[in-house]
Amino acid sequence: MRFISHRGNLNGRVPERENTVPFVEEALEQGFDVEVDLWILDDHQYFLGHDSPEHPIHAEWLRKNHEVLWIHAKSIETAEILYRMNSDFHWFWHQEDSMTQTSRGFLWTYPGVHIENCITVQLDFFPLPRNILGVCSDYPQQYKQFFTW
């Protein structure tokens, strides 16, 4: 089972810290993968941020953490750049689709959609079916306890 922190959150939302490198690194240090929201402007300016490009980052930080980051391309332009890069980044793009496929072949579902062998996004905490591959949540610590008893 994969437990993925949503934007760095571990035990509920902390909006002012989400998608910042220090917050994401705290979740990584605790052993969680992290879903981050990425914007790429002009093929070389990288930013984290949900609704807009807010926090400048270096591509090297993404490369260093490519095994544990699930990159949500926040614009179609960002998705096109990631596709052309053919890098080791693990990324996906969607808006309100029920499901999408990540660049590594995982099925990533929209919040509240639970299908067999998917990574489901569940922002609040409540019991989930056990036939999923993982959960991306603002409460990954609680899900880790729930799935390991």
**What pLDDT digit, counting tens, does each position of 12-70 carry?**
999 999 999 999 999 999 999 999 999 999 868 999 999 999 999 999 999 999 999 99
Distance CA 93, CA 72 (A): 6
DSSP track, 50-109: SSS--EEE-HHHHHHTTTTEEEEE-SHHHHHHHHHHT-S--EE--SS-SEEE-TTS-EEE
Of 86, 80, 66, 75, the closest CA to residue 39 belongs to 75
**What pLDDT digit, counting tens, does each position of 91-133 carry?**
999 988 999 999 999 999 998 899 999 999 998 888 888 899 9
Of 32, 19, 21, the closest CA to residue 135 belongs to 32
> What is the predicted pLDDT for the residue at 96?
84
Q: Taking the model in full, what pTM does it have?
A: 0.95
SS3 category, 10: coil
Give the residue numbers spanning the domain of 11: 2-147
Task: Give, in order, the Cα–Cα distances in Å from 117 to each of 34, 123, 126.
Answer: 19, 18, 18
Count of structural domains, the chain: 1
Report the CATH number that the domain containing residue 119 is assigned in CATH: 3.20.20.190
Q: How does DSSP classify residue 14?
A: -
> What is the predicted pLDDT for the residue at 130?
87
